[in-house]
Amino acid sequence: MIKRWNPSTVAAPIGMYSHLAHVPPGHELVVISGQVGALSDGSLAGADAEAQTEAVFANLERLLTAAGAQPQHLVKVFSMVAGTEHLTGFRAVVKRTFTRWYPDGDWPAQSLIVAAALARPDILVEVEAMAAVPR
Give residue-wise pLDDT tens across range 64-77: 999 999 999 999 99
pLDDT in tens, 39-88: 999 999 999 999 999 999 999 999 999 999 999 999 999 999 999 999 99
Q: Give pLDDT, residue 90.
A: 98
- Looking at 3.30.1330.40, 3.20.20.80, 3.30.565.10, 3.40.50.720, the CATH number of the domain 34-134 comes to 3.30.1330.40
**What sign results for the dihedral spanned by CA atoms 119, 71, 84, 12?**
negative
Burial (CB count within 10 angstroms: exposed 0-12, middle 13-18, buried 19+), residue 118? middle
